[in-house]
Amino acid sequence: METQQPVIFKGTRNGLRIYIDQDSKWEEVLESAAEKLKNGKPFFEGSRVNLSFIGREFSSLEQKKILELFSEYMEPGSVAFMDKLPAEQEDQPSNHDSHIFDSIEEDMTRFVRGTVRSGQRIFYEGNIVVLGDVNPGGELIAGGNIVVIGTFRGVAHAGVSGNANAVVASYRLQPTQLRIADYIARAPEGETEKPDYPEIAFIKDGRLIIEPYLPKRVKA
């Protein structure tokens, strides 16, 4: 049995759940939360997140303090404080390796119509589907999968909250940089052949792999 951490972040499709150990001191709780937020800064930065604080009773001063801390790193959406999760939302609290988004089979999806151009950044907690191109300098950041029905030339970060099962697929995959969970891959240096078939990127055995997603359709 591992030692109980004062704060555990757990992602759900409705936002971030912050489990707080009721036996820990309040100072430890704040410290631990601050450290976690610092480590996750690039993930949270600028995004709008629903927050639910769970696990103990909070005084109004404590509520204010912790909310201030979170506001430094993200834009809080709805905020809730509860000492216990409502029964129907209870999900294996023993599962500590937290994923904001751990399903890739089905979830909320944001559709983007048209071209994502340089300087444009699209963030969504669920999946992102672009019906158009993504140009160099454009960024897609998704908690889940990224699908581009067009040519992808920008930067994609799928599974941004740590979901290594996420994939990036595109009609033409020519990314500047690809990130899935903590893995980063960039386009090879120099002139390379650009495949004229759809491809998919995913993590396998700790490596980021790109391959055609319709292998039978590709002539060797």
Partner 1 sequence: MGEVIVITSGKGGVGKTTTTANIGTALALEGKQVVLIDADIGLRNLDVVMGLENRIVYDLVDVVEGVCRLKQALIRDKRFKGLYLLPAAQTRDKNAVNPEQMKNLCEELKKHFDYILIDCPAGIEQGFKNAIAGADRAIVITVPEVSSVRDADRIIGLLSAQGLNTPLLVVNRLRMDMVKKGDMMDIDDTIDILGIDLLGVVPDDERIIVSSNRGEPAVIEASSLAGQAYRNIAKRIMGEDVPLIQLENNDRFIDKLLGLFKSKKKN
User: H or E stretch including 26?
Assistant: helix 26-39
Interface stretch with partner 1, choices 55-63, 115-123, 158-166, 192-200 (CB under 8 A): 115-123
Among 102, 125, 133, 199, binds partner 1 (CB under 8 A): 133
* Cα torsion 89, 91, 97, 101: sign: negative
Among 67, 82, 117, 126, binds partner 1 (CB under 8 A): 117
**Three-state secondary structure call for residue 158:** strand
Closest to 155 in 3D by CA, of 126, 114, 185: 185
Q: How far is the CB of 117 from partner 1 (least distance, A)?
A: 4
- Cα distances (Å, whole numbers) of residue 124 to 46, 112, 165: 11, 11, 17
Cβ(197)–Cβ(173) below 8 Å: no
Question: DSSP for 169-192?
Answer: EEEEE--SEEEETTEEEEPPSS--
Interface stretch with partner 1, choices 43-51, 69-77, 90-98, 112-120 (CB under 8 A): 112-120
Q: How far is the CB of 121 from partner 1 (least distance, A)?
A: 11
Q: How far is the CB of 114 from partner 1 (least distance, A)?
A: 8
* Choice between 54 and 134, CB closer to partner 1: 134
What span, in angstroms and rounded, lies between the C-alpha atoms of 212 and 134? 19
Interface stretch with partner 1, choices 50-58, 75-83, 117-125, 195-203 (CB under 8 A): 117-125
Interface stretch with partner 1, choices 11-19, 88-96, 111-119, 204-212 (CB under 8 A): 111-119
137 part of the interface to partner 1, by CB under 8 A: yes
* Choice between 2 and 191, CB closer to partner 1: 191
What span, in angstroms and rounded, lies between the C-alpha atoms of 186 and 178? 6
Structure tokens at 48: 């709008």
Interface stretch with partner 1, choices 29-37, 85-93, 114-122, 163-171 (CB under 8 A): 114-122
What span, in angstroms and rounded, lies between the C-alpha atoms of 69 and 53? 13
Q: Within the chain, what is the greatest distance between any pair of CA atoms?
A: 66
119 part of the interface to partner 1, by CB under 8 A: yes
Interface with partner 1 (CB under 8 A), residue total 11
Q: How far is the CB of 79 from partner 1 (least distance, A)?
A: 30
Residues in contact with partner 1 by CB under 8 A are 115, 117-120, 133, 135-137, 151, 153
